[in-house]
Amino acid sequence: MSERGLILVVEDEKPISDLLRLYLQREGFGVHAEFDGPSGLTAARTKHPSAVVLDVGLPGMDGTEVCRILREEGNWVPIVFCTARDDEVDRILGLEMGADDYVTKPFSPREVVARVKSLVRRAGLTGADDAPLTAGRLSLDTTQRRAYVAGAEVTLTATEFDLLARLMSDPGRVLSRDQLLSEVWGYASVVGTRTVDVHVAQLRAKLGEDSPIRTVRGVGYSCEVDRS
Ligand code: CA
């Protein structure tokens, strides 16, 4: 039943939770459901899910708090946030949250499943045949999916890593936001290109002056990479 991995669904609205379970199971995922923040946090720690669908408004503990604690503990399981409020999106995607993706309510279960599949697929990708990508003091180990600046590891979310790796794997080439959305996120750009900008801003905040990402005004982003 769970050959594709276990998905933790933390959502206090039972009908939505049931619907997500149905759609995820139909895609071959195992599903573990929790209905409040503290139980969701415990399950994320102990069940080792492949991804978490995390509601923001939860009894006991906010979904954003659950995410913050997990990240503090060094748990970088891919997280898709569900929010009922559009004005929460920037906060969710903000640097301190470490969210990988989000959907706004009302959402279609199909949409959520597409996000989960994309995240799980990307998290499972390894580039065993790929040499590290480097730019100045920044180095990406695409096999281990780890990023280093001057030898010190920088912790990136799955999405941040994939976005950076995509840009660094095509040095000098300008990629549009739509292109990045479809190639990195793996679905059509219905969520809007703001998602790309927010993740680029997060990468820049984490990497500081070692960020190789260049904004090409009116076009998109590119990356300067050493070709050694
Ligand atoms: Ca809720």
Q: Across 13-27, 102-116, 140-154, which has the greatest mean pLDDT?
A: 13-27
Sheet with 30-34, strands from edge to edge, namely 30-34, 6-10, 51-55, 79-83, 101-104
Neighbours of 211 (CB within 10 A): 18
> Are residues 156 and 218 both part of a single domain?
yes
Q: What separation in Å is there between the alpha carbon of 68 and the centre of ligand 1?
A: 17
> Are residues 108 and 13 both part of a single domain?
yes
Average pLDDT across the chain, whole number: 85
* Domain end among 97, 123, 149: 123
> Are residues 109 and 19 both part of a single domain?
yes
Assigned domain for 167 exists? yes
Tokens read off for 51 = 């991804």
> Are residues 51 and 100 both part of a single domain?
yes
Is the backbone of residue 74 left (phi > 0), alpha (psi -120 to 50) or beta? left
Q: How far, in Å, are 29, 131, 150 from residue 63 at the CA level? A: 22, 37, 34
Q: What separation in Å is there between the alpha carbon of 44 and the centre of ligand 1?
A: 18
Q: What separation in Å is there between the alpha carbon of 37 and the centre of ligand 1?
A: 10
Domain, as residue range, for 80: 6-123
Q: What separation in Å is there between the alpha carbon of 163 and the centre of ligand 1?
A: 30
Which residue pairs, CB below 8 angstroms and at least 24 apart, start in 194-203? 194/89, 195/93, 195/101, 196/163, 196/221, 198/90, 198/93, 198/94, 199/93, 199/159, 199/160, 199/163, 200/163, 201/95, 202/93, 202/94, 202/95, 202/157, 202/160, 203/156, 203/160, 203/163, 203/164
pTM beyond cutoff 0.85: no
Answer whether residue 137 shows pLDDT above 70.
Answer: yes
Share of the chain above pLDDT 70, in %: 86
Answer whether residue 2 shows pLDDT above 70.
Answer: no
CA 213 to chain CA centroid, Å, is 18
Q: What separation in Å is there between the alpha carbon of 106 and the centre of ligand 1?
A: 12
Q: What separation in Å is there between the alpha carbon of 13 and the centre of ligand 1?
A: 6
pLDDT at 104: 84
Question: For residue 127, what is the DSSP state?
Answer: -
- Residue found under tokens 């597409």: 114
Q: What separation in Å is there between the alpha carbon of 139 and the centre of ligand 1?
A: 40
> Are residues 106 and 151 both part of a single domain?
no
Q: What separation in Å is there between the alpha carbon of 144 and the centre of ligand 1?
A: 35
> Are residues 84 and 29 both part of a single domain?
yes
Q: What separation in Å is there between the alpha carbon of 39 and the centre of ligand 1?
A: 14
Q: What separation in Å is there between the alpha carbon of 96 and the centre of ligand 1?
A: 21
Q: Across 2-6, 119-123, 221-225, which has the greatest mean pLDDT?
A: 221-225
Q: Are 12 and 39 in contact (CB under 8 A)?
A: no
pLDDT digits (tens, 9 = 90+) for 86-107: 677 766 665 456 778 888 888 8
pLDDT at 184: 85
pLDDT digits (tens, 9 = 90+) for 65-87: 999 899 888 888 889 989 887 67
Q: What separation in Å is there between the alpha carbon of 82 and the centre of ligand 1?
A: 8
* Domain end among 96, 123, 150: 123
Q: What separation in Å is there between the alpha carbon of 16 and the centre of ligand 1?
A: 10
pLDDT digits (tens, 9 = 90+) for 152-206: 999 998 889 999 999 998 888 899 988 888 888 776 545 667 888 889 999 999 9
Q: What separation in Å is there between the alpha carbon of 58 and the centre of ligand 1?
A: 5
Domain count, the chain: 2
